[in-house]
Chains A and B, each alone.
Chain A
Amino acid sequence: MSAAIIHPSTAPVTEPPGAGVDLGKLEKSLRRPRTAFNFVMSGLMTLMTIMALVPLFSVVLMLLVRGGKRLSLSLFSELPPSAFEQGGGFGNAIVGTLVMVGLAALISVPFGVLGAVFLAEVGPETKLAEVVRMSAKVLTGFPSILAGVFAYGAVVLVTGGFSAVAGGIALSILMLPTVMLTAEEAIRMVPSKIREAAIGMGATQAQTVRMVLLPTAFPGILTGVMLAVARAAGETAPLLFTALFSNYWLTSGGRLDFMQPMASLAVLIYNFSAMPFENQVELAWAAALVLVLLVLTVNLIGQGLSRKTME
């Protein structure tokens, strides 16, 4: 990228090229302040990019070293230990995370996909669609803790206690905008020829959506769902005072009970990280490793799907 300014008075067009110009001046030289500045800034950018990646590798390394040390099968089947107890695991927290994320997906996926069908197919140019898109964008920037505050006010205070359902509802609010906006994008990506062919065959709008648009847009919709699930699985703040935490399996009287407080990996990490006991801190690291593996797997599946759709 070396460039030198040729002043018009020193290089008139009538003279043969090079005459009257010291060619040595045109050579790239790091002694010149302009080039040196260029070189230094490029080096600085490289250095800062490498520094920006250090946290990622540091987090992964610490998770593998400190979390991997404690990783064993019993972690997945045992219950969290009490204060001075040794050993233990977080089986109920894994189940809790899966149950609550599943509950959230059960609410947000139908809600989001139907909303997206409206945005992309039923009324894309309407005033309502504009307002809905704006609402979804407001929800995207919504602090996750406020979803918890809302679920506390709307569910915990109404039903009279902390419960897995309240946690699931809080998470579903965070998943909804991601699901809806990516599904809208995916449905819009369906080539209009395919859509028009269905209408030309005499299909009703419901049939077009069910038999043509949704199946074609399915990988794209699934990507959005996966990304939303990955985000929800790692969320802690909305669960702190909706699902709370529990040291026990999710049963009462031998039956599953979703109206009880429920453990989750994220809240377990938060609670145990502040404890002064070595055993609990180790468990927090192991839980963090499991949680990150879970989140990254779901995330990579989602990204793989989106790459497939693009091709």
Chain B
Amino acid sequence: MIAPAVSHSSVSRATSVSRGPKFVEKYGNIVFRWATYLFAWLTVFLVLYIVYTISSKALPAMSKYGWGFITGSTWDPNTGEYGVLPEIWGTLYSSLLALFIGTLFGLAVAIFLSEHYLGAFVFSLLRAVGLQFHPVLGKLPDQLEKLLKNLIELLAAIPSVVYGLWGLFFIIPLIRPFCLAWHAKLGWIPLFSTTLSGPGMLPAAIVLSIMILPTISAISLNALLAVPPKLREAAYGLGATRWESILAVILPTASKGIFGAIILAFGRALGETMALAMLVGNSNVISWSLFSPANTLAALLANNFAEAGPREVGILMFAALILLGITIIVNTAGAFVLHRASVGREGAQ
């Protein structure tokens, strides 16, 4: 690293301030570099070790139950019959429902923020009283927009167990009268074919959608803001209204990024545990009904692991492996789509 000052004639070694690295410095550096390599390798090793641990513990159950585990729909420790089809169904159904609600609202928030509705509104209010260039109040539009963005992000900071508690004591009592009324009037539709007796699919999906909303809105907002302003201006120049340009130009341009956001949110919804374990009802039912109790893979693990005997642990590990497989596939797809979106954007500019 250091080129020691070579003294030809003018500078003598005694007066030079430079010196070569000491023994400790030289070997300390080598040890340090090795340490960073070690921890980098350890990260890769950790991921492999996690997959190995779960799959090796799942192996006995895998060889015993095979595909019947995935297609079976009974869970009976007494007869030794195990199947997770209802859980797989519940995981996908609850996640897709939550994704539907979460995308609607998340995208609305992203558009609201990217179009600067709030800032424009506050600015026009200030202009009406002639204070738009006031040194303090003039900053208000920007600050309020930032506050709104932070508030939406705060939704992601609340622990899921608190959402579960809130769902139990707020959402379920709130929606129950509506659900009973819908069931009474529209019971012939499969979606409303059972009554809501406490926990069920709909409250779980509502709470889940609130939890994934910040993911969707944050990533979609980035995608919307990355649309080159020229495109919007061109649309306005052609005489489009704001919403014509949003629907015909801005959303299609940002669609890849939004799609990536939705897939990543789907991955989050699939793995979410606590809110579902508390709200979904934990019963092995496959039903289209929004009001029927159901179960998910994560909730199954959460409820059964602590009391599981050695044999059941293997079976639960198998279920965990299925969950791991599903989430890895979904997350990789999401990351891939987002990567493609950013590459495409660079190409367009």
Contact = CB atoms under 8 A, between A and B. Distances in A.
A230 interface: yes
Contacts of A42: 117, 242-243
Contacts of A123: 36-37, 40
B112 interface: yes
Interface in A30-57: 34-35, 37-38, 41-42, 44-46, 48-49, 51-53, 55-56
Which secondary structure dominates where chain A touches chain B?
A: helix
B133 interface: no
Nearest to B166: A59
Given A118-B39, A205-B1, A58 B273 contact: no
B305 A240 contact: yes
Interface in B195-254: 210, 213, 217, 236, 238-244, 246
A270 interface: yes
A70 to B, nearest CB: 13
A145 B32 contact: no
B236 A1 contact: yes
Interface in B32-70: 32-33, 35-44, 46-47, 49-50, 53-54, 57
Interface string B12-50: 000000100100011011011101111111111011011
Contact of B159 (A1, A41, A202, A291): A291
A180 interface: yes
B29 A237 contact: no
A48, A55, A233, A241: which has the most chain B beta carbons within 10 Å?
A55
Contact of B53 (A115, A150, A292): A150
Given A118-B36, A149-B301, A292-B162, A55 B1 contact: no
Contact of A131 (B44, B236, B239, B274): B44
B272 A206 contact: no
A95 interface: no
A138 interface: yes
A230 B43 CA distance: 22
B99 interface: no
B108 A48 contact: yes
A119, A149, A173, A180: which has the most chain B beta carbons within 10 Å?
A149
B323 to A, nearest CB: 6
Contacts of A204: 1, 21, 25-26, 28-29
Q: How large is the interface on B (under 10, 10 to 19, 20 to 34, 35 or more residues)?
A: 35 or more
Contact of A295 (B43, B159, B166): B159
A6 to B, nearest CB: 8
A95 B244 CA distance: 56
B162 A202 contact: no
B305 A114 contact: no
Contact of A132 (B43, B148, B272, B301): B43
Contacts of A143: 270-273, 298, 323-324, 327
A180, A284, A288: which has the most chain B beta carbons within 10 Å?
A288
Nearest to A3: B239
A98 to B, nearest CB: 15
A132 B47 CA distance: 10
A143 B335 CA distance: 16
B241 A34 contact: yes
Interface of B: 1-3, 18, 21, 25-26, 28-29, 31-33, 35-44, 46-47, 49-50, 53-54, 57, 104-106, 108-109, 111-113, 115, 117, 148, 150-152, 154-155, 157-166, 168-170, 210, 213, 217, 236, 238-244, 246, 264, 267-268, 270-274, 277-278, 298, 301-302, 305-306, 313, 316-317, 320, 323-324, 327-328, 331, 334-335
15 contacts: A52-B108, A52-B152, A114-B36, A115-B43, A118-B40, A122-B37, A135-B43, A143-B272, A145-B301, A145-B302, A145-B323, A176-B43, A207-B25, A270-B161, A288-B165
Interface of A: 1-6, 34-35, 37-38, 41-42, 44-46, 48-49, 51-53, 55-56, 58-59, 62-63, 66, 111, 114-115, 117-119, 121-123, 128-129, 131-132, 135-139, 141-146, 148-150, 152-154, 157, 162, 173, 176, 180, 199, 202-207, 209, 230, 233-237, 240-241, 244, 266, 269-270, 273-274, 281, 284-285, 288, 291-292, 295-296, 299, 303
Q: Ordered nearest first, which 7 A-B pairs have the shortest CB separation? A: A143-B271, A234-B159, A48-B108, A141-B331, A206-B32, A118-B36, A202-B2
